[in-house]
Amino acid sequence: MTATDSSPTAPAQGWCALSLLHGRIESHVERALESRHGLSVREYSLLDVLSRQHSGPGGHLQMKQVADAVVLSQSATTRLVTRLEDRGLLTRYLCATDRRGIYTDVTETGQKLLAEARPTHDAALREALDEAAKKPELAPLVKALEEIDAPA
């Protein structure tokens, strides 16, 4: 490739396709969650991540870990937590062993909303993937996604 060659490299084409797939999926899932449950994709993701915490050692996530899991900055995650706390879906409390630590748990109302929203999320995700699989430039990415083993 020369400096005047404007054709994209294979990694650039792949990145473009991945970005397109992500955008399509997120947009489709967002519309479904918002219309049926009043949740954004980020809000759903945050509730989902926090619902997987447990009381055992290492079971509660620090805000940085939560931010990494939902792919947001710590400040954006804190604002999101505050919004969901204001809606009664989350609660925050001080860590018993480190008074500087603040943990966040999903409330009973949040757990109920998450349980109601999960089938919508999963169906919208499946629909978006099925639609993307029809596009030749996206089909290999969809196939790769479907072959990934979910973490335990």
pLDDT band, very low/low/confident/very high, at 149 (cuts 50, 70, 90):
confident
Residues of the chain with pLDDT > 90, as a percent, come to 68
Does this model's pTM top 0.75? My answer is yes
Q: Give the per-residue SS3 of 112-139.
A: HHHHHHHHHHHHHHHHHHHHHCCCCCCH
Q: Rounded to 5 degrees, what are φ and ψ at 94?
A: -75, 145
Boundaries of every domain in the chain:
14-139
Residue 143 amino acid letter = K
pLDDT at 2 over 60: no
Query: What pLDDT shows up at residue 151?
Result: 58
CATH no., domain 14-139 = 1.10.10.10
